[in-house]
Amino acid sequence: MITIDVDSTVPLEDQLCAAIRSAIARGEVSAGDALPSVRQLAADLSIHWNTVARAYRRLQDSGLLSVRRGRGVFVKPLQERIDVDEQSSARITESVRGAITEARLSGMNLAAFQDLVLGEIKQWEAGMP
């Protein structure tokens, strides 16, 4: 399910991108699936369809979606995605370091953090088919 918070200071477009990325990552939509049309999703979220179109386009540019005029929007299969190799590896590491930064700043115990991470990974594992 894709949801956004119109009261957040984070731009709707960014929220949408994140929500869709997350939905794909969690497997809620699979490769080849069609996403709601620009106008449909906009209506569901009560935002302007232009905002949805911009988010879809950004995700196409980053290789996650295939936006086809007159056809609709589709999730690309993993192997056809562009950035799998170079960029994404760096982005994952960056993400992990960001999490560690948060943990250290709040004085979290090293062991506690490790538990947290392993717990989240377990949930990931559990959700897998």
Partner DNA sequence: GTGGTCTAGACCACG
Partner DNA sequence: GTGGTCTAGACCACA
Q: What does the binding site for DNA look like in residue numbers (CB under 7 A)?
A: 6, 9, 11-15, 37-40, 47-48, 50-51, 53-54, 56-57, 67-73
Q: Are 30 and 76 in contact (CB under 8 A)?
A: no
**Residue 4 binding its own copies, by CB under 8 A:** no
Residue 39, Cα to own-chain centre: how many angstroms? 20
**Residue 97 binding its own copies, by CB under 8 A:** yes
Q: Are 48 and 6 in contact (CB under 8 A)?
A: no
Q: Dmax over Cα atoms in the chain, in whole Å?
A: 53
Give the list of residues 6+ apart from residue 55 with CB closer than 8 angstroms, or none. 12, 13, 16, 17, 20
* Closest CB to its own copies among residues 39, 104: 104
List contacts with its own copies (CB under 8 A). 6-7, 11, 21-22, 24-27, 60, 64, 66, 68-69, 76, 78-79, 81, 83-85, 88-89, 91-93, 95-108, 110, 113-114, 116-118, 120-121, 124-125, 128
